[in-house]
Amino acid sequence: MAGYEDEFTNLLYHSLCLAILGLKGDEMNEIEVKAKLNNEKQVLEKLTEAGIKLSPSLSQQDDIYVALGEDLCGNKKKNVLRVRTQGKEIIFTLKRSRTNELDCIEKETKVSDKKALEDMLDQMSYKKVISVSKKRRKGKFEDLVICLDEVEGLGSFIEVEKTSAEDGEAIQEELFNFLESLGVKREDRVFKGYDTLKYDSINQKGDKNDS
């Protein structure tokens, strides 16, 4: 029982942190850009030339939760909670967008009991709205993190992220310039997270079936 209470306290603490941090402008935030990866061979060659080594492929499953009565559309400043299963690790993340969906205040912690966490989310009136499975290879270049992702149902993507307290949109332009140096085309840029892309894809299919 003590372990359950500890995780519940931890969850509440991070929820409060997110609500408070949403009112501040001087915190470190996760800022990223992503694009469809239509020229993987060229990008891999450019990464090798830059001395960037990628990790072995790692499987991740992300279960996305929002408050009861909400979805992944509309106001992006709401809390979005993610439960990530990565090997034997369970990572709980809270996100709140700032200037856009890929410019986020983000806090995360590891948990030991996924079922207990799911029960707590249910008690707090959060519902799972989508699950995203992907295989990820990861690398680093200076203060940047580069990810090559194969996302089930969506395809191949490249993502680069940076932690910064500076203006999100200015940093995103800097990050996409880096992607362009790898041969990524500006027309391949994607402005939504995988969860929203998957959510939109499923709902569009549903609309077509209803028509």
For residues 105 and 13, what is the distance between their CA atoms, to the nearest angstrom?
15
Q: Is the pLDDT of residue 26 over 70?
A: no
Tokens of 181: 């140096």
Q: What is the pLDDT of residue 16?
A: 44
Q: Is the pLDDT of residue 106 over 60?
A: yes
For residues 48 and 68, what is the distance between their CA atoms, to the nearest angstrom?
46
* Sequence-ordered alpha helix ranges (H) in the chain: 2-21, 40-49, 114-123, 168-181, 194-210
Q: Is the pLDDT of residue 22 over 60?
A: no
Tokens of 33: 């850009």
Q: pLDDT, tens digit, for every residue of 38-87?
A: 999 999 999 999 999 999 999 999 999 999 888 777 655 578 999 999 99
Q: What is the pLDDT of residue 196?
A: 92
**Mean per-residue pLDDT over the chain, rounded:** 85
DSSP state of 50: T
Tokens 């996302």 label which residue? 151
CB 116 within 8 A of CB 4: yes
Tokens of 19: 């609500």
For residues 117 and 175, what is the distance between their CA atoms, to the nearest angstrom?
34
CB 75 within 8 A of CB 59: no
Give the mean pLDDT of 8-13: 52
Give the mean pLDDT of 178-207: 89
Amino acid at 64: I
For the chain, give the longest Cα–Cα distance. 53
Structural domain of 85: 2-210
Q: Is the pLDDT of residue 120 over 60?
A: yes
CATH code, domain with 29: 2.40.320.10
Q: What is the pLDDT of residue 24?
A: 42
Tokens of 4: 């359950």
CB 161 within 8 A of CB 28: no
Q: In the structure, what pLDDT confidence band is assigned to residue 2 with cuts at 50, 70 and 90?
A: very low
Q: Is the pLDDT of residue 136 over 90?
A: yes
pTM over 0.75: yes
Q: What is the pLDDT of residue 21?
A: 40
* Number of compact structural domains in the chain: 1
